Amino acid sequence: MTASIIVSIYIFVLAIFVGFEVITKVPPLLHTPLMSGSNAISGITIVGALISAGAGHSGLSTILGTLAVICATINVVGGFLVTDRMLEMFKPAKKGTDQK
């Protein structure tokens, strides 16, 4: 075990705690946008995909990298856009018309 993997494990474990803290505060009202939005965030793999696709090492790694870029881009672009489309629909009551 190298020192760097230990640091990585630290980061991983602490980030899980941050995740639990932040996400337990999301109300059930927004659980669907939470899923699609967090899903888009998991598309961060795209940074690895870009390097695999562009580093020009071998044919196979370029093909795999390009496929990865396609998959990750669908995930990122689709995920963020659909989340925005949903969140746009969530509106408060107009003042004075209801909820007396």
State yes or no: residue 96 binds another protein (CB under 8 A). Answer: no
Residue 53 Ramachandran class (φ > 0 left, ψ -120 to 50 alpha, else beta): alpha
91 part of the interface to another protein, by CB under 8 A: yes
Return the residues of window 51-70 that contact another protein according to CB under 8 A: 51-58, 60-62, 64-70
Least distance (Å) between residue 27 CB and another protein: 7
Tell whether the torsion through CA atoms of 59, 61, 66 and 67 is positive or negative: positive
| Binders in 3-22 for another protein, by CB under 8 A | 4-5, 8, 11-13, 15-16, 18-20, 22
Give yes or no for residue 95 binding another protein (CB under 8 A): no
Return the residues of window 32-51 that contact another protein according to CB under 8 A: 32-51
